[in-house]
Amino acid sequence: MTDKYAVIGNPISHSKSPQIHKLFAEQTSQDISYDPILSPLHGFTSTIKRLVSDGYKGCSITLPFKFEAFQISQHLSESAQASQAVNTLKFDENTIYGANTDGSGLVRDIQHNLGFTLKERRVLLMGAGGAAYGVIPTLLSAGTNLSIVNRTFNSAQRLAEHFETLGNISILKYEELGSQAFECIINATSSSITNEMPPLPNGIFSPDALAYDMMYGRDTPFMRFAREQGADLVSDGLGMLVEQAAEAFFIWRKVRPETTPVILEIRKQT
């Protein structure tokens, strides 16, 4: 019998997850279906209840429901617990299990696909919203020397307090960045959606630096700035998207799909 999965979000029509999971299923000969489902903004819990009663085995969670998915989970993976955000639900014998595969997706894309080792690197993460919370536990466990910069300083402070027990995070203001250089800068702000550029100064990239935008599908002002500033590697977040999906697929099916051909195929389609 075909096992049913879905991705829940609002909006959802732009999601590439159905194509990604279809390619994974073909590649690993898994008999699954995977639908995009639009949840009303105030109806997340009832959407999940409906999926459970319709016999779905799990779902991916995208914006803006990752915190509600965390709250609804009865069991949590370590990274979901730490980040308080869930992007993968598994429905199992009346229990809802929540995991967060965003962080491992990001770290795997950077280290495995782009070949950039994160251990002991000076990493600057821009942003202090949901996207940043989701990846910080894994960036810390990868051994980065992590700094956060955010437009609203208070939210960055709250973030550092939240993760205090996991490791040391330096909190910076954009105005303070002039005198430092980083080996890796990750854009976890929503600035690329509005085609804006966070106020980074010239000279912020060390030689051989990586610039990574968690946004995917098009060149962003941050990626263009990074190229102009001589960053060695510049990447969008498509690899992260496919890697986090592969980790979710593994949680559901206990089979790990190969990601490289899927990244190439999805890139061809965009």
Question: Minimum distance from CB of 3 to ligand ATR (Å)?
Answer: 30
Q: Which of 22, 33, 111, 129 is close enough to bind ligand ATR by CB under 6 A? A: 129
Q: x/- string (CB under 6 A) for ligand ATR, residues 140-159?
A: ----------xxx--x----
The answer to whether 81 and 90 are in contact (CB under 8 A) is: no
Residues 213-242, interacting with ligand ATR (CB under 6 A) = none
List, in sequence order, every beta strand (DSSP E) within the chain. Answer: 3-9, 32-38, 58-61, 75-76, 88-92, 95-99, 122-126, 145-149, 169-172, 182-187, 205-213, 233-235
Examine residue 10 and tell whether it contacts ligand ATR (CB under 6 A).
no
* Piece in contact with ligand ATR (CB under 6 A), picked from 48-56, 127-135, 162-170, 219-227: 127-135
Instruction: State which residue, 127 or 257, has the beta carbon closest to ligand ATR.
Output: 127
* Long-range contact pairs involving 215-220 (C-beta distance under 8 Å, separation at least 24): 215/187, 216/16, 216/240, 216/241, 216/270, 217/16, 217/270, 220/187, 220/191, 220/192, 220/195
Does residue 247 contact residue 105 with C-beta atoms inside 8 Å? Answer: yes
Nearer to ligand ATR, 237 or 257 (CB): 237
Return the range that interacts with ligand ATR (CB under 6 A); candidates 45-53, 123-131, 135-143, 223-231: 123-131
Distance of CA 5 to the CA centre of its chain: 19
> What amino acid occupies position 105?
G
Task: Give strand pairing partners of 5.
Answer: 34, 58
Q: Sketch the per residue contact string, 169 through 198, with ligand ATR: x for CB under 6 A, - otherwise.
A: --------------------xxx----x-x
Q: Are the beta carbons of 18 and 37 closer than 8 angstroms?
A: no
Closest CA to 118 of 138, 101, 89: 138
Q: With CB under 6 A, what is the number of residues at the site for ligand ATR?
A: 15
Which own/partner pairs from 74-79 qualify as long-range (CB within 8 Å, at least 24 positions apart)? 78/137, 79/103, 79/104, 79/137, 79/138
For the bound state, the minimum distance from the C-beta of residue 87 to ligand ATR, rounded and expressed in Å, comes to 11
- Dig out the tokens for 201 from the structure: 């100064």
Judged by CB under 6 A, the residue of 58, 105, 127, 137 near ligand ATR is 127
CB of 103 to ligand ATR, least distance (A): 13
**By Cβ distance, which residue is nearest to ligand ATR?**
129
Nearer to ligand ATR, 155 or 157 (CB): 155
Q: Is 4 one of the catalytic residues?
A: no
Nearer to ligand ATR, 136 or 262 (CB): 136
User: Which one is catalytic: 22, 66, 119, 254?
Assistant: 66
How far is the C-alpha of 85 from the C-alpha of 81, rounded, in Å?
7
For the bound state, the minimum distance from the C-beta of residue 109 to ligand ATR, rounded and expressed in Å, comes to: 18
Q: Which two tokens stand for residue 182?
A: 């980083």
Chain residues that interact with ligand ATR, rule: CB under 6 A:
127-132, 150-152, 155, 189-191, 196, 198
Query: Which residues are known to be catalytic?
Result: 66
